[in-house]
Amino acid sequence: MLIPHDTRIALETVVDLVNTAPESDTGDGLAELPALYAFAERHDISGVGTLGEKDLRAVQDVRDRFADIFAAPDARTAADLVNGLVAAAGTTPQLTNHDGYDWHVHYFAPDASVADHLAADCGMALAFIVVAGEQDRLRRCEAPDCRDAFVDLSRNRSRRYCSSRTCGNRLHVAAYRARRREAAR
Ligand SMILES: [Zn+2]
Ligand SMILES: [Zn+2]
C-alpha cells in the first residue's frame, strides 16, 4: 500500500490525539490549554493563533470522533463517520509544496480553527485509508493494559501492539518467563 508522506504524518497525528484520551493509562493528555499548544506544536499545526477553552473542547470532541472511527466495525460505518466529521469542518483543498515537501493537498480552510484543521486534514487521511480498503489497519494494541491506538502499516498487516519495543517486548518477556516457570516445575 502506497501511503503519501502527508497522509502518513496526518495518521500519526490522529494516533497521538486518540492516545491522549482520559481512559489511556497516563490520564487525559489534553486536559488543559498548555497541552493543546504543545500538541499543535508537536504536529506542526501552523497558524493556530491564540487558543481558548472552546478550542480545547472542540479538539477533545474531534478526538472522540477519531476514536469512533478506529472502533468502526466496517467501512460503511467508518465512511459515514468520516463524512460527518469532514463536512462539519468544511474544507478548502489547496495544493502546496511548503517547507521542501513535494506537492500535496491541504484540506483545511485558510482560517480554520485548530479543531477544524485536524478534522479536515486528518479526516481526509482516514478517508484515504477507507478508499484504499485498508480500514482494518486502524487498530488498538492487544496488550491488555494498554489498548493504545495505532495504524498498522506493516506489509502483512500482522502488527498487534502499539510498539514492538514496549508492549510487544513486554508481552514476549512475560510469555517467555511463564514458559520457563512451566518448564521448571
Ligand atoms: Zn503540508
Ligand atoms: Zn501497547
If you measure from the C-alpha of residue 139 to the centroid of ligand 2, how many angstroms do you get, rounded to a whole number? 11
If you measure from the C-alpha of residue 70 to the centroid of ligand 2, how many angstroms do you get, rounded to a whole number? 15
Q: What is the pTM of this model?
A: 0.88
If you measure from the C-alpha of residue 35 to the centroid of ligand 2, how many angstroms do you get, rounded to a whole number? 22
Report which of 161, 111, 110 is spatially closest to residue 139, judged by C-alpha positions.
161
What radius of gyration, in Å, describes the C-alpha atoms of the chain? 18
Q: Is residue 163 helix, strand or coil?
A: coil
Report which of 101, 117, 100 is spatially closest to residue 109, judged by C-alpha positions.
117
Phi, psi of 4, deg, nearest 5: -60, 155
If you measure from the C-alpha of residue 10 to the centroid of ligand 1, how many angstroms do you get, rounded to a whole number? 9
DSSP secondary structure of 4-40: -HHHHHHHHHHHHHHTTSTTSTT--TTSSHHHHHHHH
d(CA 78, CA 130): 7
Output the tens digit of pLDDT for each of the chain's 185 residues.
Answer: 567 778 889 999 999 999 999 887 778 999 999 999 999 999 988 777 899 999 999 999 999 999 999 999 999 999 999 999 999 999 999 999 988 888 889 999 988 999 999 999 999 999 999 999 999 999 999 998 888 999 998 888 899 999 877 898 877 777 778 888 888 87
If you measure from the C-alpha of residue 105 to the centroid of ligand 1, how many angstroms do you get, rounded to a whole number? 7
